[in-house]
Amino acid sequence: MSALSAKYRYGIQTAFTVLVCAGLAACGSIKGMTSGLSESKVNPANWITPYKIDVVQGNFVSKEQVELLKPGMARAQVRDVLGTPLLASVFHANRWDYVFTLKRENTEPQSLRLTVFFKDDVLDRFEGDTMPSEADFVAKLDTHRKLGKVPVLELTEEQLKAVEKKPATSATATAVKPPPAAQPSASYPPLESPAR
């Protein structure tokens, strides 16, 4: 009986090896046949694309923040307006660099840079790219998805009157504090092990 099972196992291993070799050979011939299709939309492999996340790095500095900078500001004031710099070099102690990079799928990478120069720990000058306003930047981030109609977040006159007419009830008080019977009793183990 054990001789039959050994022969049976050997037959399965041989069949599996032959199938793997045939599959590998078929992959090579299919690749050769479809080499011209790799860039076309006919190839089913091009129908599915992996999701690529947006990569945001650095500090975004808006036009409104740059407009708040005035020569003569202290370092702390500049940090309050722009945030902590991305690059503050030991070799360039009087210079802070604010760099922002955004990489998104199907768009060119965006890179913005602002350099702030200090003299005697006071803002001397700043230079860099023309920064977009916050509204322009948010518009660039829009993914053009239609999420439906945005609901109105204001109460109508009728709703305001209905809210004003309702008296304060005890239901709100019970909602804030549950009855003592509903509160679970907590038992915690000691924080330190007993001394031996």
Phi/psi for 127 (5° steps) reads -150, 160
Range of the domain at 12: 2-37
CA dist list (Å): 65 to 59, 73, 77, 111, 155:
12, 14, 12, 17, 35
Residue 84 structure tokens: 């902590």
**CA pair distance 65, 186, nearest whole angstrom:** 50
One domain, residues 32 and 93: no
Domain boundary (141, 174, 189) is at 141
**Domain count along the chain:** 2
One domain, residues 63 and 98: yes
Residue 31 structure tokens: 């690749």
One domain, residues 103 and 66: yes
Residue 119 domain-assigned (yes or no) = yes
Residue 112 domain-assigned (yes or no) = yes
Where would I find the H helices in 34-151?
63-68, 75-82, 134-141
One domain, residues 28 and 62: no
Amino acid identity for residue 172 in this structure = T
Residue 23 domain-assigned (yes or no) = yes
Residue 151 domain-assigned (yes or no) = no
196 residues of the chain, pLDDT tens digit each = 556 677 788 888 888 898 887 777 776 555 555 555 555 566 666 677 777 788 888 888 889 999 999 999 999 999 999 988 887 778 888 899 999 888 887 778 889 999 999 999 899 999 999 988 888 887 777 665 566 676 767 778 888 888 787 765 555 544 555 555 555 666 777 777 766 5
One domain, residues 116 and 66: yes
One domain, residues 75 and 134: yes
Amino acid identity for residue 187 in this structure = S
The structure's pTM equals 0.48
One domain, residues 124 and 85: yes
Residue 83 domain-assigned (yes or no) = yes
